[in-house]
A and B are shown apart, each in its own frame.
Chain A
Amino acid sequence: MPSAATLRARVESSLGERLSSTLLLRERTAPLTVSTGVTALDTLTGGLPRGALSEIAGPASSGRTGVMLAALAGATRRHEVCALVDASDSFDPASAMAAGVDLERLLWVRCSEHANAPRRKGKAPRTAPGRLNPRTTRNAGFAFGGVLEQVLKVTDLLLQSGSFGMVVLDLGDIPAESAQRVPLTSWFRFRRAVEPTATVLLLVEQEPCAKTCASLVVRLEREAVCACDSMAVVTSLCDNSRYESGVAEDARTCPKSSPTGASQFSPARKRWGKWEIDPSPVGAAQVHIQALLTPWRVVAHGGPEVPENNVVSHAALLCGMRLRAEVVRSWTQRKPVQSAGISFELRAAW
């Protein structure tokens, strides 16, 4: 009795000319990747795959925008033309410039619920389709439906035009339940559109919504926030959810901080906008505010005594965040990675 391999070889030889594409198993080659702009994330994920859809998900203040700008900065540094589809018109050009994004190579599309609203108030004009008269566009549907509709249309247009090195969809301020109502067919269409190109399609959102259409899904969480004041006091805010257990009354450092604690944030004298901070060495005093349910506790480590209330000091400024990234889905492995995660920091530009 012929073996399975022999049978297969016979079938392939007889039908191969007509049905070659059906019988031959296509080997999916590993996609080319580009840097995310964050070394730790590159180590964790292997980079953002070209010709694929990648997602960066996380709640507010979890560093999604910082990572997005780092990726855009890397792309523009490679002289690629990028596009940012901004669903909530929340892009800050100054942050982008500080992050190293070449704004000359970035197409910023500002979507808005009211972008195509009627120009004149009062009675709506009588119009017919295609007539050379003023017309109106009505956005109906679920909350943020008009904006999402714009985002999907614009993304379609950008992917069809091709030749963009990176197309970013920023849905960071769109509620997760609204974003997840985007039909899966849209994401599938985007994946198919981007597949034969060298474009990186990056989706920034609160919760992953592209499901199986995404080749890479990274979830970000904030571990700690560091603030420094004009008296060179560094403050670290740690989320209670992470340190809820085992909270001691005495002084303690943030367990997920870097070995040197918050003192490693060393703000330099940089002018950005109106803010200018004292460049005096940081670390003379450290204060860790642990984010317990209520109230937060203020614990001092030497240095000036800090009153036990919310007051840290006068004019304290944020100088960085410590984030944790976790790979939810990756093109390198078929099954979701269970515990792959890494911590890294975002530093303030000021």
Chain B
Amino acid sequence: MFACIYIPDFPVEAIVRAKPLLRERAVAVLEGKSPLTRVIALNEKARLLGMETGMTKLQAAIFAAPEAKGPAVLHQRSLDQENSAHSALLDVAHAFTPQVEDTATDTLLLDLAGLERLYGAPAKMARNLASRVIAVGLEASTAIAANPDAAMHAARGFGGTTVIPTGKEAQRLGVLPLQVLLDAFAISPQKNSAADRERGKQREQMLDTLERWGVRDFRTLAQLPDHALASRLGEAGTRLQRLARGAGMRTLALCAPPSRFEEAMALEPPVETLEPLSFILNRLLEQLCARLETRALAAQELRLRLQLERRVADEDTTTVRELEVNSHIVGWATFERTLRLPVAMRDTKVLLKLLQLDLAAHPPGAPVIKVWITAEPAPPRSAQRGLFLPITPEAEKLEITLARISGVVGERRAGIVHLLDTHRQDSFRMERFVTAPEETKQAEHPTTSDIEAHPQLALRMFRPPWQLRVRVAEGRPVSVSSLPIQKDRGELQGKVWWSAGPWRSSGDWWAENAEQGSAAKDQARPWDREEWDVALANGNGKSVALYRIYRDLGNGRWFADVSYD
């Protein structure tokens, strides 16, 4: 048993998939450079208006005029959207069965052998397939028959879902016009343009011949005498007749499931603000998540690529040169952002919010004319938490919260801190905050012995250190005042009531002579300092605070970098 999924008017469907509101309107797809732009595909509503394939753009524009009744929508062909739609179709088919033949862009053949126990009767399978295709935004004709070619002819010839019982192929297919047979005959599984042209030419010749004979449907062709047909049309004629009888049997040329999850949309006119762009991103993410869902996958990483209009939006502040050197912008007309997600997810709302927040923090700087969203697939998160474990923030919610916080405090200013393996003071790096891996053991509640009887003395850092003016007597600091340039940070001045030190430390001197630009030179600069612990009295001397001040022996300047608390 074989099934066929066929998408009628595929170029139109690919566009309507991204813009569902167009489904209610007449749509014609144009291709070619002006003035040779022609209509290559149109939907049923456009046909009812009187439009035909092959019309020039000028002819089609009459139907699209605002004064026309139910004006048609003319849309330029989008190969990116067709590729996305085709990939979505392949995802649906591969989610159903691994044995799939990628017959044409708009046609897939599936081997259903052994799937009855899983999906039920053939009619149920056909409906199931159709509903899955609708879930990814396409409308398809599905057919099930005993052989792949019969299924394909039925899908292409009949709308909706069709099930042909075994042995009834010739009877059911007999009413179909010969055009369906020859269209299917012209399809070549090999993506070879030369072979396609040859088969197209052969198709035209055969159609001419058969029409001159008065053969216009499957039944008439099937009833022609075998030998007479073979002597006149050769091996191709015999094959055509076998197909018309629904008797052809062949092996499917199986294909691999698509590994790339990408959705794209061209924007006409260019989008200048974030709000309308959000609607487009939402639609693309819905399609992407539907595809991921059909394959039981989720997105681990999301890449957004925007093609920008070829002008710089804000000439005063952003020059082309600046755009080129900006690390976020690849080239001068493409803007790219990558969201690495802590856990694999496929919630459209969460992903959209993350993209919105990211774009708000990193605006592309120019109107957008095309959008691509690519997802890096990964198995979805499967969490089974213990009943007695403390609750932790939900990963999706936490990610949005972190993105919002980054929008408030800035990039890389919220996360987990990791100490570096160095003696240099205040050496750490910030990393993305993710909730710790699920603990299988029960949470350890602190016992009395766990609680520190004497908690630790802590430091409070000054970032950057305060530059000080220090008066020294007998080798020890006796008074401290901050430089006037740092007055906006507050006051740090007073008499040193107590001091202890110096404590000398130095490091990374070995990197001093490292080659310019080498990794060692970049990572560490040598330091050499003399530290003092001081008690400073502020104001009337009633409040004394403890600080660590140091003298940079490299340049002789004094700084305060720590207060004890």
Contact = CB atoms under 8 A, between A and B. Distances in A.
Contacts of A319: 457
A135 to B, nearest CB: 7
B416 interface: yes
B463 interface: yes
Interface stretch (B108-116, B196-204, B345-353, B492-500): B492-500
Contacts of B390: 78-81, 165
Interface in A211-229: 225, 227, 229
B462 A227 contact: no
Given A42-B451, A163-B394, A133 B503 contact: no
Nearest to A144: B490
A161 B401 contact: yes
Interface residues on B, range: 35 or more
B433 A229 contact: no
B500 A173 contact: no
Nearest to B491: A175
Contact of A133 (B314, B408, B425): B314
B67 interface: no
Contacts of A289: 498
B59 interface: no
B417 A131 contact: no
Given A120-B317, A172-B460, A229-B500, A130 B545 contact: no
A344 interface: yes
B458 A92 contact: yes
B458 A99 contact: yes
A231 interface: no
B564 interface: yes
Contacts of A229: 500
B313 interface: yes
B498 A310 contact: yes
Interface string B378-417: 0000000000011111100110111011001110011111
Given A35-B451, A108-B414, A315-B503, A161 B393 contact: yes
B456 A103 contact: no
B436 interface: yes
A132 B306 CA distance: 12
B408 A275 contact: no
A267 B255 CA distance: 71
A10 interface: no
B212 interface: no
B332 to A, nearest CB: 16
B505 interface: yes
Interface stretch (B144-152, B240-248, B271-279): B271-279
Contacts of A49: none
A316 B408 contact: no
Contacts, number: 302
A160 B414 CA distance: 17
Q: Which of B314, B405, B455 lies at the interface centre, i.e. has the most chain A CB atoms within 10 A of its CB?
A: B455
A107 B478 CA distance: 39
Contact of B410 (A112, A315, A346): A112
A163 B459 contact: no
Interface stretch (B4-12, B93-101, B361-369): B361-369
Contact of A163 (B392, B496, B545): B392
A286 interface: no
B473 to A, nearest CB: 9
Contacts of A153: 408
B505 A320 contact: no
A349 interface: yes
A39 B463 contact: no
Contacts of B490: 175
B225 interface: no
B452 A73 contact: yes
A127 B365 CA distance: 10
B417 A99 contact: no
Interface in A99-157: 99-100, 102-112, 115-116, 120, 122-127, 130-135, 150, 153-154, 157
Contacts of A42: 451
B459 A116 contact: no
Nearest to B529: A274
25 contacts: A39-B453, A61-B544, A73-B452, A77-B450, A90-B462, A100-B452, A106-B416, A108-B417, A111-B413, A132-B274, A132-B277, A133-B313, A133-B318, A134-B365, A154-B408, A157-B405, A158-B401, A229-B500, A274-B423, A293-B541, A310-B476, A314-B501, A315-B503, A344-B454, A349-B457
Interface of A: 35, 37-39, 42, 59-70, 73-74, 77-81, 88-100, 102-112, 115-116, 120, 122-127, 130-135, 150, 153-154, 157-158, 160-165, 172-173, 175, 198, 225, 227, 229, 235, 237, 239-241, 273-275, 289, 291, 293-294, 296, 310-321, 344-349
Given A98-B456, A132-B368, A157-B405, 15 more contacts: A42-B451, A61-B545, A66-B455, A79-B390, A104-B436, A130-B273, A150-B408, A163-B392, A172-B460, A172-B565, A294-B541, A312-B500, A318-B457, A346-B454, A347-B456
